[in-house]
Amino acid sequence: MDAPAMDVGVDPFPARMAALVGRIDPGASLANLGRLSGGASQETWAFDAVGPAGTRRLILRRAAPGAVPHPMAAGFAVEAAAIRAAGVQGVPCPHVRHELEPADGLGEGFVTDHVEGETLARRIQRDEAFAATRETMVASFGAILARIHRVPVAVLPPMRRSGVAAALEAIRESLDADPTPRPVFELALGWAARHAPPEPERLALVHGDFRLGNVITGPEGVRAVLDWELAHLGDPTEDLAWISLPPWRFGRIERPVAGLGSRADMFEAYARTGGASVDAARVHWWEVMGSLRWGLFCAEMLARFRGDDPSVERGMIVRRISESEIDLLAAIEGGIDAG
């Protein structure tokens, strides 16, 4: 008997995608399959399911074949569960259509509806089309975070738990693994260890990478929160601080939240939507921890640049370590910035 499946010359991916489309929308066929991005750990594909009732635009995120997941990555099943649970709380999220199963033959991942809109930070900050949205965006970030943080933990699958002490340990491990001595990071970690706040009263669902670049926006406002890869159970203040890190202000340094507005406006909307009252010292501490996390992430990219991804972009990310260093010195020497 012939065994076409053994033919190493045929890429099984398109046929498996066609079968997947039939499973998602019975009677529909696959069209416009195209890769949006890909890296060592995961791939993103856009495709259409064309059926008698119309065309559904879809997105597949899946593990790159043979990839070793990052230790902080939530995993696709946890991500999908977090997105669904956040959606129930009113967080704008892409609808999860299908979670990959072994029978799909496509590895781990999930399919969501495509959400039209803008993700590029500089366009959201500067284009005329978003002028009205910009007025309310910081408040909607506060409201979205309050909704994420009130997801009942009981509806979530087991996931990474990382409060104050675990975050300090993770930074310590990452710094120890770096072959380059980094005095500014050592200074900052020492400061963080001495100024650590108590563990939060409860661990909440934390998005982990909530910032411009990871939200799809239309002229009317935020349409979807993406990139739940770093979701975990942690201190909700972590999310409130991460969005104000200087690199996520994209040049608009005088406006702390995403280069768009003030922390006070975001915190006010957070409280109005049921979030706990915000402790400025705890936010400042998580900003220091965030700059450390981002700086060490950039440092880790050196191995990737010398390994699987020798792109200019990858190499240049490593040279952003000094951005985190100056931000850390300013944060530690400047103290709490309540603006």
Distance from C-alpha of 157 to C-alpha of 133, rounded to nearest angstrom? 34
Half-sphere exposure of 203 (CA within 13 A, CB side): 17
CB-nearer residue toward another protein: 8 or 312: 312
Applying CB under 8 A, which part among 12-20, 45-53, 175-183, 223-231 lies near another protein? 175-183
Mark residues 88-117: x for contact with another protein by CB under 8 A, - for none.
Answer: ------------------------------
Q: Where do we find the tokens 């507005």?
A: 261
CB-nearer residue toward another protein: 142 or 246: 246
CB-nearer residue toward another protein: 7 or 254: 254
Q: Binding of another protein at residue 336 (CB under 8 A)?
A: no
Distance from C-alpha of 108 to C-alpha of 284, rounded to nearest angstrom? 37
Distance from C-alpha of 214 to C-alpha of 104, rounded to nearest angstrom? 28
Q: Binding of another protein at residue 320 (CB under 8 A)?
A: yes
In whole angstroms, how close is the CB of 159 to another protein at the nearest point?
31
In whole angstroms, how close is the CB of 294 to another protein at the nearest point?
13
Applying CB under 8 A, which part among 15-23, 47-55, 261-269, 319-327 lies near another protein? 319-327
How many degrees, rounded to 5, is the angle at CA 127 between CA 125 and CA 128?
120
Q: How far is CA 171 from CA 103, 168, 295, 326, in A?
A: 39, 5, 10, 18
Q: Binding of another protein at residue 38 (CB under 8 A)?
A: no
Q: Binding of another protein at residue 216 (CB under 8 A)?
A: no
Concatenating the DSSP letter of every residue in 137-173 gives HHHHHHHHHHHHHTS-GGGSPS--EE-HHHHHHHHHH
In whole angstroms, how close is the CB of 251 to another protein at the nearest point?
5
Applying CB under 8 A, which part among 49-57, 128-136, 176-184, 265-273 lies near another protein? 176-184
> Do residues 141 and 158 make contact, with C-beta atoms less than 8 angstroms apart?
no
Q: Binding of another protein at residue 123 (CB under 8 A)?
A: no
Q: Binding of another protein at residue 293 (CB under 8 A)?
A: no
> Do residues 55 and 211 make contact, with C-beta atoms less than 8 angstroms apart?
no
> Do residues 288 and 331 make contact, with C-beta atoms less than 8 angstroms apart?
yes
Q: Binding of another protein at residue 34 (CB under 8 A)?
A: no
Residue 76's contacts (CB-CB under 8 Å, 6 or more residues apart) are 61, 62, 63, 99, 100, 108, 109, 110
Tokens for 196, please give them.
């650590």
Q: Binding of another protein at residue 300 (CB under 8 A)?
A: no
In whole angstroms, how close is the CB of 265 to another protein at the nearest point?
20
Q: Binding of another protein at residue 249 (CB under 8 A)?
A: yes
In whole angstroms, how close is the CB of 188 to another protein at the nearest point?
9
Binder of another protein out of 31, 132, 326, 338 (CB under 8 A): 326
Binding site for another protein (CB under 8 A): 181-184, 186-187, 190, 246, 249, 251-254, 312-313, 315-316, 319-323, 325-327, 329-330, 333-334
